[in-house]
Amino acid sequence: MTLAFPEHYRVLRNNRVITVKFNYKESGVWDVLAICFIDAAMKITASWAVISLELLGLKGH
């Protein structure tokens, strides 16, 4: 991610948007992801929590 996000930023035109879907339950990993965005000069403008299948009592395969 450290290499990917700067490349995304480089090829995006001014004021363009990138959408990233990322699921992980440990907060430390989210911190690293945010740092990667910030280091790539990107701004995080929104985020949404995703309800996992596990929380709904479903099993993913």
The verdict on residue 54 lying in a domain is no
Quick check: 50 pLDDT over 80? no
Structure confidence at residue 16 (pLDDT): 83
Q: Report the C-alpha gap between 22 and 37 in whole angstroms.
A: 13
Confidence of residue 52 (pLDDT cuts 50, 70, 90): low
Query: In which domain, by residue range, is 35 found?
Result: 4-39
Phi-psi label, residue 23: left if phi above 0, alpha if psi -120 to 50, beta otherwise? beta
Please give the span between the terminal C-alpha atoms of the chain, in angstroms, as a whole number: 26
Tens-place pLDDT, residues 18-48: 888 887 878 788 889 889 989 988 888 888 7
The verdict on residue 57 lying in a domain is no
pTM for this one? 0.63
Q: Where are the alpha helices (DSSP H) in 1-61?
A: 4-11, 27-39
The verdict on residue 30 lying in a domain is yes
